[in-house]
């Protein structure tokens, strides 16, 4: 009897602890939202003339929405291009380490990829600005010369290489270990019976991957990609140290002075911002907060639609 009461007491305590942890997350999220709205309220309620008079770097005859709009565009563009570059490579690495490579090689390659996540953002920024930019500039020049008719490669190619395309490459390297690690674990959870059944029917290794592994892991791949996207949306130092900024709605990835991201703009302007300027920057941070919430909600909706292929089966 005592054992039973003890088990019930332990289960009840664990239940309340788990519930409290879940509620705590919601409370923290609400607190962050309230803080952002409260501190950004002076900028949200001020008109464009007040902002331009009080903030030296705020454009004249521009509303707050007109100021935030290009930053949102640049943030989404950088994150989308980096995700487009990183996801196929991450899936390929994950498939190689989980289904093709020998165990020792797969383990060593997995450690190397995971170590990329431990490198600080400042180091990535230094590498991207001092090493990568001069190396890839001739490649961007080639793309601009022969593929300039594509809007992404149009415009005057920057001679420094400090453009959005370079930023996207660096961000792709930064989110690669996140996507790779999750995809690898999901691929390894594929039911062995599914793979053996496909092999018994005469399927090749690629057909096993295509018919058994990838359908099972689809929701996991989406989750991994969304986590990587969230990482790319909030990156600050690497973008600040590489990109030559601008405030335009431009798809030109190889030209300088075109785009800027929210996080990098906050880091660049915050040290010299006055009270109104800080409120304006926090308002842009509120926009980034909303974008991040929207991305995560969309990811949860996509994963929920693919729950039949989740790792719980």
Express each pLDDT in 161-193 by its tens digit: 999 999 999 999 999 999 999 999 899 888 888
> Model confidence at 74, in pLDDT bands (50, 70, 90)?
very high
Residue burial 268-298, b: 16+ Cβ < 10 Å; e: rest: bbeeebeebbbbbbbbbbbbbbebeeebeee
Share of the chain above pLDDT 70, in %: 94
What is the secondary structure of 121-168 as a DSSP string?
A: HHHHHHIIIIIIHHHHHHHHHHHHHHSTTSGGG-SPPPSS--SHHHHH
> Model confidence at 297, in pLDDT bands (50, 70, 90)?
confident
Distance, CA of 92 to CA of 90 (rounded, Å): 5
Structure tokens at 262: 């929210």
> Model confidence at 307, in pLDDT bands (50, 70, 90)?
low
pLDDT value for 7 = 55
Structure tokens at 118: 């431990």
Sequence-distant (≥ 6) Cβ neighbours of residue 255 within 8 angstroms: 154, 155, 156, 157, 158, 163
């Amino acid at each position: 009897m005592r054992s039973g009461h003890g088990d019930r007491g332990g289960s009840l305590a664990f239940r309340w602890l788990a519930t409290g942890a879940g509620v705590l997350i919601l409370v923290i999220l609400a607190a962050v939202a309230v803080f952002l709205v409260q501190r950004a309220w002076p900028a949200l309620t001020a008109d464009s003339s007040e902002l331009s008079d009080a903030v030296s770097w705020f454009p004249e005859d521009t509303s707050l929405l007109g100021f935030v709009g290009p930053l949102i565009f640049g943030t989404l563009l950088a994150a989308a291009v980096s995700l487009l570059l990183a996801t196929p490579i991450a899936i390929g690495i994950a498939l190689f380490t989980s289904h093709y490579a020998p165990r020792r090689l797969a383990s060593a390659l997995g450690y190397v990829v995971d170590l990329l996540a431990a490198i600080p953002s400042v180091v990535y920024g230094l590498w991207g600005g001092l090493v990568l930019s001069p190396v890839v500039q001739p490649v961007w020049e080639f793309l601009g010369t022969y593929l300039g008719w594509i809007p992404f490669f149009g415009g005057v190619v920057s001679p420094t290489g400090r453009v959005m395309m370079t930023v996207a490459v660096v961000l792709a390297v930064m989110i690669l270990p996140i996507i790779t690690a999750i995809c690898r674990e999901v691929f390894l959870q594929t039911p062995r019976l599914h793979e053996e059944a496909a092999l018994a029917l005469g399927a090749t290794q690629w057909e096993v991957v295509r018919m058994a592994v990838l359908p099972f892991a689809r929701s996991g791949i989406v989750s991994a990609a969304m986590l990587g996207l969230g990482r790319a949306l909030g990156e600050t130092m690497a973008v600040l140290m590489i990109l030559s900024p601008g405030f335009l709605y431009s798809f030109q990835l190889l030209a300088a002075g075109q785009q800027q991201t929210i996080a990098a703009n906050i880091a660049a302007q915050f040290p010299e911002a006055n009270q109104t300027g800080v409120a304006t920057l926090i308002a842009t941070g509120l926009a980034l907060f909303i974008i991040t919430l929207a991305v995560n909600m969309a990811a949860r909706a996509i994963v929920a639609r693919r729950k039949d292929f989740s790792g719980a089966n």
